[in-house]
Amino acid sequence: MLQGWIQIALTLLIVIATTPLLGGYIARVYMGERTLIDPIITPIERVIYALSGVRTQQDMTGKQYATAVLYSNLMMGILVFSILMLQGFLPLNPTGLGTPTWDTALHTTISFLTNTDQQHYSGETTFSYASQMFALGFLMFTSAGTGLAVGIAFIRGLTGKALGNFYVDLTKSITRILLPISIIGGLLLILAGVPETLAGVATATTLEGSTQAIARGPVAHFEIIKQLGENGGGFFAINSAHPFENPNGFSNLLETLAMISIPTALIYTYGVFANNRKQAWLAFWMVFAIFIVLVGIAAVGEYQGNPQVNALLGSQQPNLEGKEVRFGWAQTALWAVITTGTMCGAVNGMHDSLMPLGGFVTLFNLFLQIIWGGQGTGTAYLFIYFILAVFLTGLMVGRTPEFLGRKIEKKEIVLASVVLLVHPFAILIPWAIVFAFPDTLGGISNPGFHGVSQVVYEYASAAANNGSGFEGLGDATLWWNLSTSVTILAGRYIPIIALLLLADSMSRKQPVAMTSGTLRTDTGLFTGVTGGVILILGALTFFPVLVLGPIAEGFLMGRGG
């Protein structure tokens, strides 16, 4: 069992080592500095800007940036919804799949448009190759690029710079970060055994003499952007637990690193923009410390296994229910924490089969959204907590709240509060409605406390733009498609608008000189206070839900009930 802990440790060491390398590169991209791929990418970008009419030198205000995000996303959503509804008439449909129901197509469009990728369908039996590549694959790049652009605009505003131009930031996100890494990663996945083909299903004769149809398709390029862009939507129903998406230990390591690389690197990117790498590393280690504790909790739960099963066997055995044996308990537990921490949502094992400790950790990540958070927006949420910590500590010690030399006033606190309060409202209101009419709306397959977790997980995943689920929930219904769509939209766009308006407000403030009375935010003490604020706010908001779900389930299981 020591091997499992060593695997976890080595994976995390690689993450730490690559953070400043990728973070520095991302900073150079958005600061307009020279990079190695300029000779190839710059001419391509010039053509894109010329054809689209983008004025590359024109900075946007917060309102203009938010308008550009909403308008572009609306147009992309209409295009993708049309492709999904017309897939029966489009080429690249070797199995002749028909048109999905309108509510499934709508939910899928909204889900992939917002970087959520929540799936109420089975990929290989619902959408054609054309839909998977030109609709869902297209949104995997643009939704991740949108999140990156918003995160960078927020960092610029927070550090006193103009927010930039959304269309330029979106283009750079795709051409200079997502696409180059995806090309390399896709080729490595092909070498690892992930298929990349437009051929239809393969047929095989089983030992019993019957015929079996084996789904395949252009999986490798889909898989890498799924992980790198924190999208999470699987080409196949069982996602990265499928051997064609994730065949072996090497592919699992590559996909794990792709999933966490950009969220961790963006904290370092902030340090470059702010010219304060010390604060960036303090923030990184604060999040990393919480992350390590959560990984340990989930891993211990899976390593110790189910006490009732252990009692029957007469020995302690890891919990291997819902897991692929090629990954085992350790890599499944690590993946579960990372995928809910980074808001990716991809799975290499079934979260519904996690022990209560694992269920607690995955839900806790979805509630906090900053361990490590969504693509770009997670870093912005992290510094929202820094702003609130500045405000609270300023009140306690009688100093004017300031962050990076700019005063934190009523407008900034109101907008920061909006970012954090939208999340619980988007989760708890529909959750309460479901339990008001459980027989009509529920679709719950697990009784008792686990059923509570099943429902709240679905809405938490939607609001956090994560997309993973406690599978077994009967969510392929009109209610679940529409209610989670509303939660997804609220969890994505209301915080984005508030973040951009807050960044715009900060960028317009005149910096004040640092004095002996200034509350420094790049110290270990303040970073610790921020960590406390994060945990207290998260616990106070969602603790009752955790008690009704995984905590109660854990006590019941421990009692043998």
- Please report which confidence band the pLDDT of residue 73 belongs to, taking 50, 70 and 90 as the band edges: very high
What are 104-123's pLDDT values in tens digits?
999 999 999 999 999 999 88
User: Does the pLDDT value for residue 419 go beyond 90?
Assistant: yes
What are 318-337's pLDDT values in tens digits?
999 889 989 999 999 999 99
Residue 451: the pLDDT is 87
User: Does the pLDDT value for residue 549 go beyond 70?
Assistant: yes
Least confident of 156-170, 348-362, 506-520: 506-520
User: Does the pLDDT value for residue 391 go beyond 90?
Assistant: no
More confident residue, 402 or 460: 460
The 3-state secondary structure of 372-396, one letter per residue: CCCCCHHHHHHHHHHHHHHHHHHHH
Q: What is the phi/psi pair of residue 371, to 5°?
A: -115, 75
> What is the C-alpha separation between 454 and 433, in angstroms, rounded?
14
- The mean pLDDT value for 125-143 works out to 95
Least confident of 77-81, 259-263, 543-547: 543-547
- Compute the chain's Rg from CA coordinates: 23
More confident residue, 205 or 457: 457
- Report which residue type is found at 185: G
What are 194-247's pLDDT values in tens digits?
999 999 888 888 888 888 888 999 999 999 999 999 999 999 999 999 999 999
User: Does the pLDDT value for residue 561 go beyond 60?
Assistant: no
Greatest alpha-carbon pair distance for the chain in Å reads 82
Residue 211: the pLDDT is 86
What are 27-70's pLDDT values in tens digits?
999 999 999 999 999 999 999 999 988 888 889 999 999 999 99
- Ranked by mean pLDDT, which of 240-249, 472-481, 544-553 comes out on top? 240-249
Q: Which is it for the CA torsion 302, 306, 311, 317, positive or negative?
A: negative
Residue 167: the pLDDT is 96
Please report, rounded to a whole number, the percentage of residues in the chain having pLDDT higher than 70. Answer: 99
CB 141 within 8 A of CB 233: no
Residue 354: the pLDDT is 93
The 3-state secondary structure of 227-282, one letter per residue: HHCCCCCCCCCCHHHCCCCCCCHHHHHHHHHHHHHHHHHHHHHHHHHHCCHHHHHH
User: Does the pLDDT value for residue 459 go beyond 60?
Assistant: yes
- Report which residue type is found at 170: L
Task: Quote the crossing angle between the two packed helices 179-192 and 249-274, to the nearest 10°.
Answer: 160
- Please report which confidence band the pLDDT of residue 517 belongs to, taking 50, 70 and 90 as the band edges: low
User: Does the pLDDT value for residue 79 go beyond 60?
Assistant: yes
- Please report which confidence band the pLDDT of residue 405 belongs to, taking 50, 70 and 90 as the band edges: confident
Structure tokens belonging to residue 265:
């690197």
Other Cβ atoms less than 10 A from the Cβ of 9: the count is 12
Q: Is the pTM of this model over 0.85?
A: yes
Please report, rounded to a whole number, the percentage of residues in the chain having pLDDT higher than 90. Answer: 71
Structure tokens belonging to residue 523:
């110290």
Residue found by looking up tokens 């739960």 in the block: 301
Structure tokens belonging to residue 191:
């070498």
Residue 193: the pLDDT is 94
- Ranked by mean pLDDT, which of 148-152, 429-433, 469-473 comes out on top? 148-152
Residue 541: the pLDDT is 86
Mean confidence (pLDDT) of the chain: 92
47: exposed, middle or buried (Cβ count in 10 Å: 0-12, 13-18, 19+): exposed
User: Does the pLDDT value for residue 516 go beyond 90?
Assistant: no
190: exposed, middle or buried (Cβ count in 10 Å: 0-12, 13-18, 19+): middle
Helix (H) or strand (E) holding 403: strand 402-403
- The mean pLDDT value for 170-199 works out to 96
Least confident of 19-33, 318-332, 387-401: 387-401
